[in-house]
Structure 1
Amino acid sequence: MAKLSPARRLALDVLMEAQETGRYVREILAGSSASDSCDARDAAFALRLALGVTATEGILDDILNLYLAKPKKVSARVRTALRISAFEALYLDVTSEVVVSQGVELVRSCAKNAAGLANAVLRRVCAGRQEFLSATDASANQQRIVSVARHAGLPVWLARDIEVSLGDSRAAALFAAQLEPAPFAVLANPLRADHVDAALLNAEATPLALPESYAVGHMAGIAATDAFESADLVASDYHAQLIAAAATRAGSCLEIGAGRGTKTFMMHAHVHVAHMKRTYIALDLFDGKCRANAERIARAGFGELQTVAGDACDLDSVLVDVDAASGGRTLFDTVFVDAPCSGTGTMRRHPEIPWRLTPEDTRKNLPQLQLAMLESASERVALGGELIYATCSVMTAENGDVVDAFLGSEHGESFELVPLSQADIFTLPAYKPARVQVEEHEDERGLFQTAPSLHGFDGHFCARFVRKS
């Protein structure tokens, strides 16, 4: 009888807790006392398994259901144990002997009488894995896309929509990177330059083109310090950092969808680097996120942050106190809409995304909300001011189609689409190298779109409008 590895046992416990509580795998594992008793290698492998199973859940169930006589009769814990072994077989290229022996022991730890079932099913999974990934069971006209989806661990509809949105080459790069770790980047607080050097050195950080931005080799090196808690650094994908920089300009700014304030922090940092004068209001739907945002800005030494909580589709109600204080309807030099979206550009970091999304989400529900937010925001842009629209999606329906719908609407008649790379901040000498990088990801209309790739950063979209009348 093989001895069950502690990493697999921990992965099973984490996955079950995620199912039962709705919490994220990373969050659970980070706070798990069981992980403290594992060595670093076991903890890392447990995280790899838990994230991988979460990211490919539907594909794993598909292959398991081929060989389970009564799929609906299998308990949740046994199914999760089988998913772990199936993930190893399909995506980690673990030998059949290890998959079966460890899988049997993992299932035995859940239900002793299910060990025989696990042995039979996992042997068939291992024997049939290549044919399954090649989608030989799919119809001839569907075989290619089904195989693509299975290799990437994605629902077929989502893989198809990504190809349509990104084109073949960029979609292929996303699929190849989908189950690989995403790179990390941070932005440093320019007021704390003397405090962050040790943390950056410990993390093997290297400077990027954007001022105060660094690629991080080992995020644990920073996490072991208090740099995040002290607001000396903020973690953010580099492509998102480029968008935050582009949205930073002098004058008044309303940030919509600020959340806990990652982009708020970054824009405040660039205000200091660029020596700008700016007033700022951060809006989010939730009071708790507004408080967290204001607290971090204060810890960072950026001063007091004005926040408002409420529905961004009803800005007149949300900004009633702001308008009263200014003696009239407040218009802003910059309105930045960081819109809720599918998150399809960040699935490597958030493996829960692909199997929670539905086609209606990305094709209808989210675009309708995004357009409503954009139209509402446009009413608060001053003449000559800028409206910035950003998502972390790679889907055309949420990005280019929303832009076109806005420009074709009554609200959009007053706006002109202009390239993101021509944002004011990119005229400054320190920011010109970053401008070149933005230009590399712009289309002929100046729309900024990135997509994940192996060793590359995440997928983000941004459109920049100027109010002309």
Structure 2
Amino acid sequence: MSTPSRHGGQPGRSTTPGRTGKTGKTGQGGKSGRPGKPYRRPRKDPVRILAFEALRAVDERDAYANLVLPPLLRKAREKDPDEGGLDARDAALATELVYGTLRWQGTYDAIIAECVDRPLRQVDPPVLDVLSLGAHQLLGTRIPQHAAVSATVELARVVLGDGRAKFVNAVLRRITADDLEGWLERVAPPYDEDPEEHLALRHAHPRWVVSALWDALPARARQGGGRADITALLEADNERPEVTLVARPGRASVEELSTGETAPGRWSPYAVRMAEGGEPGALDAVREGRAGVQDEGSQLVALALADAPVEGGSDRHWLDVCAGPGGKAALLGALAAGRGATLLAAEKQPHRARLVARALQGNPGPWAAVSADGTRPAWRPGSFDRVLVDVPCTGLGALRRRPEARWRRTPEDLAGFAPLQRGLLRQAVAAARVGGVVAYATCSPHLAETRAVVDDVLRGMEKDPRGPAAELLDARPLLPGVPELGEGPDVQLWPHLHGTDAMYLALLRRTA
């Protein structure tokens, strides 16, 4: 059995443009199920309607929930409750419905497939979104069965029409025949027969992602199968991450961000963790740009580059090659300013370059944000003492934050990113002066995006004596206090081991 998926090109949900239109509706069946039966207007449930709208945006526009949901929630919170406005409790439920449904989409698809009489690709995507919302309420929350079915059928009447609502009702009642564990016993093969497919369905990840993550885990996790480690990682991917703040040095302090709803970061001296439900925008420092939301793994990458020893020459010119949307650039810029250095932040896409400039606005030291392609740089080779190249990637290291990405990405995406990643790293090394340091970073643990890229670029340099040369540095001492950093010299962070996104870091020093 292959894990169903809407976005991954495997059996599952169709995303054919134009099938449903921008409203997300597939047609409104008749107003009455039987001739002569009095028409009852469907009751509108603002929480579930909002969740449905968010899911349709993700499916139709390839949007990300963490970008779509906040403005929808803000708009709903501003409304009067009598006009469909949401309170804090409603907003929390809508958030859980959206993220939970997206996170478990592949597993719910497999369960729904057992309850319908046609292939899932023949069920319209908006209908599947409603069914998934219902499945999550039945199998992934404490909402009572009767309430979950009733509320979801009412949603279907509003957004799909009476005819499709009857179909939704029938499918959901079949799902109520068992709980999640019972359904997993039915749809997932035994571990001994097919461990990867078993884990894929039990932990809601595509099979190819399970395989890739397993390969990338530390050696001890791969020896003898390593079921405990891969299970812990997949479970961590399915947990909602903490909101972590960064106090940008010279502009804000950890003490300023510390309240009764925060705790110090685990590893970064500039990190503060917010309690669940905390609102970053309520803090003056965040609103003013002196602090920001930034995963602790991203902070560690910037700090490692800033602290890596350079040989000879100055330490006044720093470069961020792929700076958008600006989180690492803002931290690097603040660190550079504290040392009298200048940061040049480059980003290929003009709109993202504007985001970088906004993030850097107010930094005390000199900086510049430009729209530039890191594979065809406008700067002179050998101009920089420190260079960060945080390359575009599949984003498999941030599945906690973007659960839909696991179903959207395919193995073919790796081949698309490979030339870009290698080209960016080669040009980053060329941009550094001899004795300068380059940090190669990516938010993916996939070996094809991490060690394979670094190894290929270094081998290519060895074959070309006329070009720049570089050597790997041991990055582990530059992450003091962080445990289980592996055999080195590069570093792979993990959600289940470090509580961060799965950030990868390799440090290189240019030698010629």
C-alpha change, 1:51 and 1:458, in structure 2 (3 Å) is: same
Counterpart mapping for 1:211-226 below 5 A: 211-218=269-276, 220-226=278-284
Q: Indicate conservation of the 8 Å contact 2:437/2:510, yes or no.
A: yes
In terms of mean alpha carbon deviation, does 180-189 or 23-32 score higher?
23-32
**SS in structure 1 opposite 2:489?**
coil
Q: Which protein is richer in helix relative to its size?
A: 1
Partner Cα separation in structure 2 for residue 330 and residue 162 of structure 1: 36
Distance 1:442 1:62 in 2: 36
Partner of 1:285: 348
TM-score, normalization by structure 2? 0.79
* Cα contact 2:348–2:374 (8 A) shared by 1: yes
Structure 2 letter corresponding to 1:77 = P
Matches within 5 A, 1:340-351: 340-351=392-403
Q: Deviations over 1:35-67 (max 9, x none)?
A: 441121111110111112223333322322232
Shift of 1:192: 3.4
Question: Which amino acid in 2 is paired with 1:120?
Answer: A
AA matched with 1:276 = R
What amino acid sits opposite 2:232 in the alignment? A
My pick for the range that moved more, 210-219 or 115-124, is 210-219
State whether residues 267 and 481 of structure 2, in contact with CA within 8 Å, keep that contact through their aligned partners in structure 1: no
Corresponding residue for 1:326? none
Give 1:455 deviation, angstroms.
8.6
1:306 aligned to 2:335?
no
Give the whole-Å Cα distance in 1 for the aligned partners of 2:92 and 2:430. 49
- Over the residues paired in the alignment, what is the CA RMSD in angstroms? 2.8
Go from structure 1 to structure 2 and tell me whether the alpha carbon gap of 1:112 and 1:259 turns closer, same or farther (over 3 Å shift): same
Distance 1:296 1:136 in 2: 47
Out of 471, 475, 478, which is 1:420 matched to? 475
1:128-167 maps to which residues of 2 (within 5 A)?
128=178, 129-134=180-185, 136=187, 138=189, 143-166=194-217, 167=221
Q: Are the equivalent residues in 2 in contact too, given 1:253–1:278 (CA < 8 A)? A: yes
The answer for the alignment partner of 1:125 in structure 2 is: 175
17-26 vs 276-285, which moves further: 17-26
Matched residue, 2:148: 99
State which of 425, 428, 436 in structure 2 corresponds to 1:374. 425
Q: Distance in 2 between matches of 1:371 and 1:445?
A: 20
The answer to whether the 8 Å contact 1:12/1:80 transfers is yes
Match of residue 241 from structure 1: 299
Residue 509 (structure 2) pairs with residue 466 (structure 1)? yes
Whether the 8 Å contact between 2:188 and 2:198 is mirrored in structure 1 is no
* TM superposition score normalised by structure 1: 0.85
Which residue in the other structure is 2:384 paired with? Answer: 332
Task: Assess if the C-alpha contact under 8 Å between 1:100 and 1:122 holds in 2.
Answer: yes
Distance 1:454 1:99, change over 3 A: farther
Residue type at the aligned position of 2:139:
L
Cα distance change, pair 416–406 in 1 and its aligned pair in 2 (3 A): same
In structure 1, what residue type is equivalent to 2:406? P
Instruction: Give percent identity, aligned residues only.
Output: 28
| CA distance in 2 between partners of 1:179 and 1:463 (Å) | 27
Q: Distance in 1 between matches of 2:260 and 2:280?
A: 7
What residue in structure 1 maps to residue 330 of structure 2? 265
Residue from 404, 407, 418 that aligns with 1:355: 407
C-alpha offsets along residues 317-357 of structure 1, whole Å, 9 cap, x if unaligned? x33xxx4xxxxx44321221111111111111112211110
Give me the whole-angstrom Cα distance separating, in 1, the residues matched to 2:216 and 2:269. 31
Quote the Cα distance in structure 2 between the aligned partners of 1:189 and 1:149.
Answer: 39
| Runs (5+) with no aligned partner, structure 1 | 324-328, 424-433
SS of aligned partner of 1:248: helix
Q: Structure 1's 337 and 105: CA in aligned 2 closer, same or farther, altered over 3 A?
A: same
Q: CA deviation at 1:105?
A: 2.3
